[in-house]
Amino acid sequence: MRYRTAGILSAILIVVNVGMFSLPAAVGAVFLPYMERGVDPPIYVKILYVASEFCNTWKWVAALLTPPIVVVLFVIAAFTKGTRA
């Protein structure tokens, strides 16, 4: 694995982690009128609610696992640096 690949994978992991923190707040802010009016929301809103609850449940696990995964990616890149064909 190259350093560039480790950097790209780390950036993707960090962006997903940030998304897990921001999705519940965004869904709550945008689709709050459905909850206040008491109407049955469309199916896409229900799917976003489910995704939001998933993110709320697992965001801290992802936040705690992100730094070690990034370190492991760069350690693998360092050890495999000299084994290219």
> Residue 54 pLDDT more than 90?
yes
- Tell me how many domains the chain contains: 1
Separation of alpha carbons 7 and 15, rounded Å: 12
Structure token digits, residue 64? 């705690």
Which domain covers residue 45, as residue numbers? 3-80
Which pLDDT does position 45 carry in this prediction?
84
Q: Is 41 exposed, middle or buried (0-12, 13-18, 19+ CB in 10 A)?
A: middle
In a domain, 85, yes or no: no
User: Mean pLDDT, to the nearest integer, of 9-32?
Assistant: 90
Higher pLDDT, 13 or 34: 13
> Residue 82 pLDDT more than 80?
no
pLDDT tens per residue across span 24-39? 989 888 887 777 777 7
- Asked if 10 contacts 71 with a C-beta cutoff of 8 angstroms, the reply is no
User: Mean pLDDT, to the nearest integer, of 1-13?
Assistant: 90
In a domain, 47, yes or no: yes
